[in-house]
Amino acid sequence: MRILGAKVVPVGFGGRTLKEAVDSAFEAYLKDPVTSIYAIGSVVGPHPFPKMVRDFQSVVGFEARDQFFEMTGNLPDNLVACVGGGSNAMGLFSAFIEDPCEMYGVEPAGKGTKLGEHAASLTYGSEGVLHGFNSIMLQNEDGSPAAVHSIASGLDYPSVGPEHAYLSTQKRTKVGTANDKETIEAFYALSRHEGIIPALESSHAVAFAMKLAREKPYESILVNLSGRGDKDIDFVVENFPPEDYK
Ligand SMILES: Cc1ncc(COP(=O)(O)O)c(C=O)c1O
């Protein structure tokens, strides 16, 4: 970001997670809405941000649909994408919404099932309001956003975009999970078998797809690789040495 000329301001309050970064960015925007523009990174926030981000991300979905058909002569039986706020998943799903595909949004199961140990909002959450939108979220007893954890910093958000809550309630999409351990194993598996180093966020989708492939050995699975793992290499190598994953 700095190479491209941006001034990067780290968030220094609360849990210093994605939620606080969004709080902070909104605050800066509201202080100066005339000369600044708010560019949100996921399908969250007040209308029209969730729809705008979904439509931008759907370019990847429509391209993937065309390429999959070209390569196989069929549409995929299953779609798998990780869900933080839910933009890469929503962009993929929106291209296939009329098709007979099973769509799986994969949430971070982190290191346990207690509040604060994961960021699996659809799996464990309930209806609430955050950042100007109504959806399903992880909340404390007083309705404030709960603390969250994921090994992938892009997934540690206590809610999901409203369209994910809707599609999941309508049973059009399904919710899967991958925990921190499965995610690291998938990070190494894809790197070693395909030479593709996935982001830790995307590694959640890979981990779930590996479980799904065992359940559905004769069906095709399209996995959305939402990002490259270059940004995660130092963290992974230091904390989960390659020698331990032979
Ligand atoms: C590589 C990557 N994938 C996925 C996400 C999660 O965002 P979303 O759920 O909006 O796709 C992030 C967020 O920072 C990310 O960096």
Domain boundaries, the chain: 18-245
Question: Quick check: CB of 85 below 6 Å from ligand 1?
Answer: yes
Q: Say whether the peptide bond before residue 46 is cis (omega within 30 degrees of 0).
A: no
CB 181 within 8 A of CB 105: no
Sign of the CA dihedral running 158, 162, 168, 173? negative
pLDDT of residue 14: 87
Global confidence as pTM: 0.96
Exposure class string for 207-235: b at 16+ Cβ within 10 A, else e: bbbbbbeeeeeeeebbbbbbbebeebeee
Question: Quick check: CB of 203 below 6 Å from ligand 1?
Answer: no
Question: Quick check: CB of 155 below 6 Å from ligand 1?
Answer: yes
Distance separating alpha carbons of residues 73 and 154, to the nearest angstrom: 34
Fold of 18-245: Rossmann fold (3.40.50)
The token pair at 189 is 């598996």
- Residue given tokens 């309001």 in the structure block: 129
Distance separating alpha carbons of residues 230 and 16, to the nearest angstrom: 22
Sign of the CA dihedral running 230, 235, 241, 246? negative
Question: Quick check: CB of 202 below 6 Å from ligand 1?
Answer: yes
pLDDT of residue 18: 83
Q: Say whether the peptide bond before residue 48 is cis (omega within 30 degrees of 0).
A: yes
pLDDT of residue 17: 84
Cα angle 45, 47, 51; round to 5? 90
pLDDT of residue 61: 98
Q: Tell the residue nearest (CA) to atom 15 of ligand 1.
A: 154
Query: Where in 49-111 does DSSP place strands (E)?
Result: 78-82, 102-110
pLDDT of residue 127: 97
pLDDT of residue 28: 92
Distance separating alpha carbons of residues 156 and 232, to the nearest angstrom: 15
pLDDT of residue 15: 84
pLDDT tens for the 246 residues of the chain, in order: 899 999 999 999 988 888 898 889 999 999 999 999 988 889 999 999 999 999 999 999 999 999 999 999 999 999 999 999 999 999 999 999 999 999 999 999 999 999 999 999 999 999 999 999 999 999 999 999 999 999 999 999 999 999 999 999 999 999 999 999 999 999 999 999 999 999 999 999 999 999 999 999 999 999 999 999 999 999 999 999 999 998
pLDDT of residue 152: 97
What 3-state DSSP class applies to 222? strand
Question: Quick check: CB of 154 below 6 Å from ligand 1?
Answer: yes
Query: Where in 71-159 does DSSP place strands (E)?
Result: 78-82, 102-110, 126-130, 133-137
What 3-state DSSP class applies to 59? helix
Residues 6+ apart with CB under 8 A from 230: 197
pLDDT of residue 133: 95
pLDDT of residue 230: 96
